[in-house]
Amino acid sequence: MTPSKKPHPCQAYCSLKKRNRNIGRLSAIAEIISRDFLTTMPEGAYENRLDQISYLHRRIHDDIVCPDSQAWLEEAQEHLATHPGLWDEWDTANLIETVKRYKNHAILDPDMLEESARIANEGRRVHSLCLKNNDWEMAQAHLERVAVHVRKLAKLKAKSRNSATLYEALIQDYSPGVSLEKLWKWFNHIDTELRILLPQVIERQKMRTPIVSLAGRYDPEAQMWLNRSLLELFGFDFDRGGLYETEHSPVEGGTPDDTRLVIKNVDPRDFMNSMKSALHEGGHGLYIQGLPRKGGSGYQPVSHDLGTTMHESQALLVEMVIGRTPEFFEFLAPRLEGLFHTVRDPSLTAGNLHRRKTLVKPTLDRKGADELTYFFHIFLRFKIECDLIEGKMEVADIPAFWTEWMHDHLGVMPQNHTEGVMQDVHWFVGKFGYFQAYTLGHMVAAQLFDTMQQDIPDLYSRIRNGDFKPITKWLNRHIHSKGSIQPWDELLKDVTGSEPSPDFLISHIENRYLGG
Amino acid sequence: MTPSKKPHPCQAYCSLKKRNRNIGRLSAIAEIISRDFLTTMPEGAYENRLDQISYLHRRIHDDIVCPDSQAWLEEAQEHLATHPGLWDEWDTANLIETVKRYKNHAILDPDMLEESARIANEGRRVHSLCLKNNDWEMAQAHLERVAVHVRKLAKLKAKSRNSATLYEALIQDYSPGVSLEKLWKWFNHIDTELRILLPQVIERQKMRTPIVSLAGRYDPEAQMWLNRSLLELFGFDFDRGGLYETEHSPVEGGTPDDTRLVIKNVDPRDFMNSMKSALHEGGHGLYIQGLPRKGGSGYQPVSHDLGTTMHESQALLVEMVIGRTPEFFEFLAPRLEGLFHTVRDPSLTAGNLHRRKTLVKPTLDRKGADELTYFFHIFLRFKIECDLIEGKMEVADIPAFWTEWMHDHLGVMPQNHTEGVMQDVHWFVGKFGYFQAYTLGHMVAAQLFDTMQQDIPDLYSRIRNGDFKPITKWLNRHIHSKGSIQPWDELLKDVTGSEPSPDFLISHIENRYLGG
């Protein structure tokens, strides 16, 4: 779906498209400068760069809500209503997305927006410091500032979005169109099912061949070669991007022309950690690179991604769904021997790697969690956010709640805040409402994979041969290249034939961990 | 000299300062994003990033020439005229610089400005390609486009600046306040004197101990350690900057808080090449880091550097004037043995290194030229620019003129365009009028060094001990921290007691190459 080459008959809409292009140019700059800020900038530039980035976001905001934009929007909507025949699907969707963006910004005053940008960029640094010193006091002070700001935002958003609750309003930023009621329904269903599955899986895995621990030290450069090669096999375009290592936090994002993925320090003891991150960020990167970008369409709102749920689905599909199939490890194993200069290493057999990556075992750590217990980590955060935003819980109450919940539900207890409540960067950067999108993304990934298996009949033998490009091609055709032409749930229904449903995820887990 | 903490009584001026701050924020972003563009950006982002940077410059331009700026400027100038007692030196100079910037921009239409930004960023890439393929045809086409644009700019500038000629108008961008008449007078004088000195120096150097060629291969990482350590000894603040290597062109610039210097690929056969670049860029970097930056003063025009002449003087003072003293090599030599794991290497003695770096010998290459013949390279370019801008020469005529001039004046002949007319990036990026600033900078460096020797009596023994910080401290006190509080020639007179004069440069060369 690409824009028509002819100028559109509605003059106001043409003006909007031009403005969109300029906003897109500044937004791309903001994206690149933020990555620099988070990865390679010298420490001493911290305060000023933070201020510069916030200011740039303010200018972008001003351009979005500029009074002539409002006038053009009204005129264009009027034109669409009176001359629907002159509007094709692309332009119609583009106008709808432009209106949405305008409304999302119009409710914010520029000071709040600057504070959001500051928190988003500053929060990562604060998070690093808190982790380094296991400093809950510093974390609490920061999170309280964030909570005040986010509640204020939620109030404005709830009003403009007619949301049932404050928290529901925040969720719209990540999973547009999803009601809190629906989320609770899905999550309670998954919770019920996975609680039944968990002990069965653990019991069954006791009978498996024991896992051989990784023996060696794995040269970080060799690991990065492996990670880059895997992404290349998936069709990631290194002419328009790259994969880098950083001491700081990994960075998602970029633009379709400049998708420099950043993963955190490579662990010399376990190559599977950086591989996991590379596959995850790679899934995001493939989505970004596959978005429409030709002929200036990239700067139009209709060419943007479909939000966090769809984005996470792309990352989890590559990392967890594809990247943990036995066939994936069959492809990987023999190549590892050559790469790491080791032969007949029992820890590097396809079977052992697969057992290692599919081991289900409750742990404290969300990022390192297995595919089954991952959900419980999300559910905990979802509950906390829900209460915190509605004012039923305060930041100071989180650690005790967290510890008790982990003990009661997963039977593990964090020994300190670094292992517990402080592990994730999201709240530090103001992302309340984000976590649910991981589980929704996992649901979407499983649902897409179900259809993909039908569409690509020799899928598993292709994976076994490292022939991953048909996967990306399929995703590109059905998801990436569509931009925001439809809402994510409608697109999912068109592609898979079903409404979004947790049943695909539950079946996927049941098949993978209890099947065969 | 710092701004007063009290709000200024002229409201319009307060508004200007606020606008200046916002312009400074966007300019800092443009600076950082341009370095990314020139160094680490993936190829595939080229077209779009070029477009984004040009657009950002357009926005900065729009902010500068915005109608309310004009009204504020008029009001503030009126206030200064009627209440001079309420304006201190800092605010007065800041207003003058703000007016200057406004006038420089007001004559440009935004399309021309975008074209300048495109040429500035695109030209480096074109230059690399032309060099790689020794492609004069491509170079000529590009330079013709640049010449058309630059002549157009020169016409506008000449009119607004009341310049005697088009070329004089361009020179103001790099060496403000210098008339073409004065430049010709200085350059002809230097030309006469150096032509007399050159054969004498060559004759005398025949009697020196022969130079021992560098023997080894020098580990690039060890070279970068050396380069960074030298800059650290000069007081370069690595918390607010760094020194990096790139495959692409080196990049000058940055902001006082983020001065990431970039030098071109380290040559494993000759560590003195990268050391030379590091010292040169380091001199620029020390100037940038030493500019006023506290309390938001960094974003005000009065806190900017004094232009190219002063900037190059700082680079050449560190690289050529200090970095080629016998004492510098006495400090360096024993450390090189440890660094490069070689003892009693006759090529690494202080004497041999000094002889190597002070060898006067006409060559084809400006960047690699010795301190004496360097001037002739500049003079050639100056003559060509002068005729080209005035329309007395066309781009197509340059190679023949160049070759003949090199043969007649230096007795060397380029064998191809890469060795000849295409060697410099300046014209490719639109910098016509820049080269003269190297010689002016060299003049200023020699003049400053003359005074510095009187102010720091144990200067040479300090250099011998690697105690370079007093040099930077002196430069900081007299030059860096002054920003643009005075024009460069007035400041130079205040610091050295003399008008800018070529005599210091001539004496410096006479002393170094024929004295003692």
Q: Which of B18, B25, B239 would you mutate first to test chain A, the one with the most A CBs within 10 A?
A: B25
- Both tokens of residue A107? 């409710």
Judged by average pLDDT, the poorest of A108-122, A338-352, B65-79, B315-329 is: A108-122
Interval A215-270: pLDDT, tens:
878 999 999 999 999 999 999 999 999 999 887 666 677 899 999 999 987 899 99
d(CA A37, nearest CA chain B) in Å = 10
Q: Which residues contact B36 (CB under 8 A, 6 or more apart)?
A: A32, A36
Give Cα B497 to chain centroid, integer Å. Answer: 24
- Chain A residues with CB-CB distance to B33 below 8 A: 29, 32-33
Distance CA B37, CA B46 (A): 8
Phi-psi group of A254: left, alpha or beta (phi > 0 → left; psi -120 to 50 → alpha; rest → beta): left
- Cβ–Cβ < 8 Å for B157, B171: no
Please report which confidence band the pLDDT of residue A1 belongs to, taking 50, 70 and 90 as the band edges: low
Q: Is A41's CB within 8 Å of B239's CB? A: no
Please report which confidence band the pLDDT of residue B40 belongs to, taking 50, 70 and 90 as the band edges: confident
Q: Is A255's CB within 8 Å of B48's CB? A: yes
Q: Is B45's CB within 8 Å of A238's CB? A: no
List helix spans (H) across A66-215: 67-82, 89-106, 110-133, 136-161, 166-171, 180-205
- Chain B residues with CB-CB distance to A41 below 8 A: 258
3-class state of residue A243 by DSSP: strand
CA distances from B246 to A131, B34, B61, B255, B267 (A): 34, 14, 30, 19, 12
Specify the pTM.
0.92
Which one, of B506, B509, B502, lies nearest residue B178 by Cα? B502
Element (DSSP H or E) covering residue B218:
none
Q: Is B45's CB within 8 Å of A240's CB? A: yes
Distance CA A353, CA A347 (A): 7
Q: Is B44's CB within 8 Å of A242's CB? A: no
- Both tokens of residue B129? 């390609």
- pLDDT of B410 over the 90 cut: yes
Q: What is the DSSP letter of B428?
A: G
Closest chain B residue by Cα to residue A293: B48
- Average pLDDT (A104-132) is 89
Q: Provide the pLDDT for residue B1.
A: 58
- Chain B residues with CB-CB distance to A241 below 8 A: 42, 44
Closest chain B residue by Cα to residue A254: B45
Q: Are strands B259-264 and A259-264 parallel, antiparallel or unpaired?
A: unpaired
- Average pLDDT (B224-252) is 90
For B457, other C-beta atoms within 10 Å of its C-beta total: 9
Distance CA A51, CA B481 (A): 23
3-state helix, strand, coil in chain A (%, to 5): 70, 5, 30
d(CA B42, nearest CA chain A) in Å = 6
d(CA A33, nearest CA chain B) in Å = 7
- pLDDT of B247 over the 80 cut: no
Nearest to A25 among B52, B239, B240 (CB): B52
Interval B445-488: pLDDT, tens:
999 999 999 999 999 999 999 999 999 999 999 999 999 999 99
Distance CA A249, CA A339 (A): 27
Q: Which residues contact A157 (CB under 8 A, 6 or more apart)?
A: A104, A107, A163, A169, A170, A172, A173
CA distances from B387 to B182, B390, B422 (A): 17, 5, 18
- Average pLDDT (B419-424) is 95
CA distances from B340 to B223, B274, B343, B345 (A): 9, 15, 9, 10
Phi-psi group of B255: left, alpha or beta (phi > 0 → left; psi -120 to 50 → alpha; rest → beta): beta
d(CA B63, nearest CA chain A) in Å = 11
Sign of the four-CA dihedral B501, B503, B506, B507:
negative
Residue identified by tokens 């160094």 is B39
Q: Provide the pLDDT for residue B343.
A: 86
- Chain B residues with CB-CB distance to A240 below 8 A: 42, 44-45
- Chain B residues with CB-CB distance to A255 below 8 A: 45, 48
- Both tokens of residue A384? 């906390």
Q: Which of A236, A257, A262, A289 would you mutate first to test chain B, the one with the most B CBs within 10 A?
A: A257
Closest chain A residue by Cα to residue B31: A33
- Chain B residues with CB-CB distance to A45 below 8 A: 240, 255, 257-258
For B4, other C-beta atoms within 10 Å of its C-beta total: 9
- Cβ–Cβ < 8 Å for B322, B328: yes
Q: Is A29's CB within 8 Å of B33's CB? A: yes
Which one, of A484, A427, A40, A481, lies nearest residue A260 by Cα? A40
d(CA B468, nearest CA chain A) in Å = 23
Judged by average pLDDT, the poorest of A166-175, A261-270, A319-328 is: A261-270
Nearest to A32 among B36, B238, B260 (CB): B36
Q: What is the DSSP letter of B258?
A: B
Interval A449-492: pLDDT, tens:
999 999 999 999 999 999 999 999 999 999 999 999 999 999 99
From chain A, which residues contact B within 8 Å (Cβ)? 22, 25-26, 28-29, 32-33, 36, 41-45, 47-49, 51-53, 55-56, 59, 237-242, 255, 257-258, 260, 298
Nearest to B52 among A29, A42, A53 (CB): A29
Q: Is B29's CB within 8 Å of A239's CB? A: no
SS (H, E, C) B236-254: CCHHHEEEEEECCCCECCC
List helix spans (H) across A251-397: 271-290, 308-316, 326-339, 350-357, 374-389
- Average pLDDT (B205-219) is 92
How big is chain B by its Cα radius of gyration, in Å? 23
- Cβ–Cβ < 8 Å for B322, B471: yes
Q: Which of A21, A29, A41 would you mutate first to test chain B, the one with the most B CBs within 10 A?
A: A29
Distance CA B140, CA B130 (A): 10
Interface predicted TM-score (ipTM) of this complex, two decimals: 0.91
Q: Is A258's CB within 8 Å of B33's CB? A: no
Distance CA A231, CA B50 (A): 27
Q: What percentage of chain B has pLDDT greater than the value 90? A: 86
- Cβ–Cβ < 8 Å for A78, B47: no
Q: Which of A236, A258, A259, A294 would you mutate first to test chain B, the one with the most B CBs within 10 A?
A: A258
Q: Is B25's CB within 8 Å of A241's CB? A: no
d(CA B123, nearest CA chain A) in Å = 20
Phi, psi dihedral angles at B243 (to 5 degrees): -130, 120
- Average pLDDT (B392-403) is 96
Interval A367-397: pLDDT, tens:
889 999 999 999 999 999 999 999 999 999 9
Nearest to A44 among B25, B59, B237 (CB): B237
Distance CA A44, CA B283 (A): 19
Q: Which of A40, A48, A303 would you mutate first to test chain B, the one with the most B CBs within 10 A?
A: A48
Half-sphere exposure of B287 (CA within 13 A, CB side): 27
Q: Is B36's CB within 8 Å of A36's CB? A: yes
Q: Could you give all domains of chain B from N- to C-terminal order, each with its CATH number?
A: 11-171 (no CATH), 180-514 (1.10.1370.30)
d(CA B281, nearest CA chain A) in Å = 17
Q: What is the DSSP letter of A340?
A: T
d(CA A129, nearest CA chain B) in Å = 17
Q: Provide the pLDDT for residue A295.
A: 75
Q: Is B41's CB within 8 Å of A239's CB? A: no
For A204, other C-beta atoms within 10 Å of its C-beta total: 12
- pLDDT of B69 over the 70 cut: yes
d(CA B253, nearest CA chain A) in Å = 14
d(CA B314, nearest CA chain A) in Å = 23
d(CA B184, nearest CA chain A) in Å = 42
Distance CA B334, CA B348 (A): 8
- Average pLDDT (B173-198) is 96
Distance CA A303, CA A296 (A): 10
Q: Provide the number of CB pairs (under 8 Å) joining chain A to chain B.
A: 97
Q: What is the DSSP letter of B421?
A: T
- Cβ–Cβ < 8 Å for B60, B23: yes
d(CA A185, nearest CA chain B) in Å = 44
- pLDDT of A82 over the 90 cut: yes
Q: Provide the pLDDT for residue B250.
A: 67
Q: Is A26's CB within 8 Å of B56's CB? A: yes
- Chain A residues with CB-CB distance to B238 below 8 A: 42
Phi, psi dihedral angles at B188 (to 5 degrees): -65, -40
Hey, which residues does B261 pair with through a beta bridge?
Answer: B243
From chain B, which residues contact A within 8 Å (Cβ)? 22, 25-26, 28-29, 32-33, 36, 41-45, 47-49, 51-53, 55-56, 59, 237-242, 255, 257-258, 260, 298
